[in-house]
């Protein structure tokens, strides 16, 4: 049994059994740091870019499935200030974000867009044949880009400029969030989280719970992960197998879309989708 599977098994036990391993945010002294203004139209995904100590936010700005050219990528400071609202514009419905070196990858309905960060310019576009609703992105240490398609249920791989199907024919519903974690790919779906080995594409279910669709999955920098429930909750699984509810935005009628975490700053960033903002919490 791998360490990550053991940890995730504990997550399954803690979440489904309703034991004391599930702790509330009040017990952890989570502190809200800031919230942006509401100009981030349909804020779907946020990504921390360490080399320039900034945040990129994908803004659908319209129908998530419509090729209307209204979508854009915003750039924000680590203090929550929108420094460039339309840093990259002319996209359709940008969602997942991932980077390798100075390249930013963005899903845009049925294509992957490659952007040069230093030049703030689109370098290339990679159409994904048959794609319906490309969503999240994860990038491994070799620069391989993994992409979910909520419409077709597939996971694609972009490597060496070529797109192939990594996982297909699964009975799961709406694969969405992705995270590269301990040499495996974690995949969030409507009601579960799976682990996949890229070399074989083999899947293993590691979490099933009564949550809304799992949206974002991110590493915490110490062997655990955070994952968001689209209805407005964010959970944490630590390296010892303890699970907790970290943030609950449901009472504020905010969604928790494709989250990000900066281990260096211990800051959790949550795009609020329909609320058009990003909210930041300090994690102790």
pLDDT tens per residue across span 153-197: 999 999 999 999 999 989 898 999 999 999 999 999 988 889 998
Q: Give me 112's structure tokens.
A: 């992957």
Confidence check: pLDDT of 238 > 50: yes
What b/e sequence results for 30-64 when a residue is b if at least 16 CB atoms lie within 10 Å of its CB, and e otherwise?
beebbbbeeebbbbbbbbbbeeeebbbbbbbbbeb
The pLDDT score that the predictor gives to residue 20 is: 29
Length of the chain: 284
Q: Which domains does the chain have, with CATH numbers?
A: 3-282 (2.120.10.30)
Whether 228 and 244 have beta carbons less than 8 Å apart is answered as no
**pLDDT tens column, 59-78:** 999 999 999 999 999 999 99
d(CA 177, CA 63): 20
CA–CA distance, 102 with 116 (Å, rounded to integer) = 6
Give 3-state DSSP helix, strand, coil % of the chain, rounded to 5. Answer: 10, 50, 40
For tokens 């048959």, what's the residue? 130
Distance CA 31, CA 25 (A): 10
What is the reported pTM?
Answer: 0.90
**CA–CA separation, 188 and 196 (whole Å):** 11
The pLDDT-based confidence of 10 (bands split at 50, 70, 90) is very low
């Amino acid at each position: 049994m791998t360490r990550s599977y053991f940890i995730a098994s504990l997550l399954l036990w803690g979440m489904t059994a309703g034991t004391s391993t599930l702790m509330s945010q009040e017990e952890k002294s989570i502190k809200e740091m800031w919230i942006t203004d509401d100009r981030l139209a349909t804020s779907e995904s946020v990504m921390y870019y360490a080399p320039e100590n900034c945040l990129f936010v994908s803004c659908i700005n319209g129908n998530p499935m419509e090729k209307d050219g209204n979508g854009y990528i915003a750039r924000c400071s680590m203090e929550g200030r929108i420094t460039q609202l339309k840093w990259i514009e002319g996209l359709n419905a940008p969602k997942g974000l991932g980077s390798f070196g100075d390249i930013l990858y963005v899903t845009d309905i049925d294509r992957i867009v490659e952007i040069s960060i230093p030049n703030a310019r689109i370098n290339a576009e990679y159409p994904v044949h048959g794609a319906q609703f490309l969503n999240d992105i994860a990038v491994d240490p070799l620069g391989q880009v993994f992409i979910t398609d909520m419409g077709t249920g597939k996971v694609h791989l972009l490597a060496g400029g070529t797109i192939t199907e990594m996982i297909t024919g699964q009975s799961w519903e709406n694969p969405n969030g992705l995270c590269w974690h301990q040499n495996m790919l974690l995949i969030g779906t409507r009601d579960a989280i799976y682990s996949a080995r890229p070399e074989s594409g083999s899947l293993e279910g590691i979490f099933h719970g009564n949550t809304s669709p799992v949206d974002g999955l991110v590493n915490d920098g110490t062997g655990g992960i955070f994952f968001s429930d689209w209805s407005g909750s964010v959970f944490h699984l630590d390296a010892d197998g303890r699970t907790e509810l970290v943030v609950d935005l449901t009472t504020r009628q905010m969604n928790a879309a494709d989250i990000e975490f900066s281990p260096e700053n211990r800051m959790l960033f949550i795009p609020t989708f329909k609320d058009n903002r990003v909210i930041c919490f300090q994690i102790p």
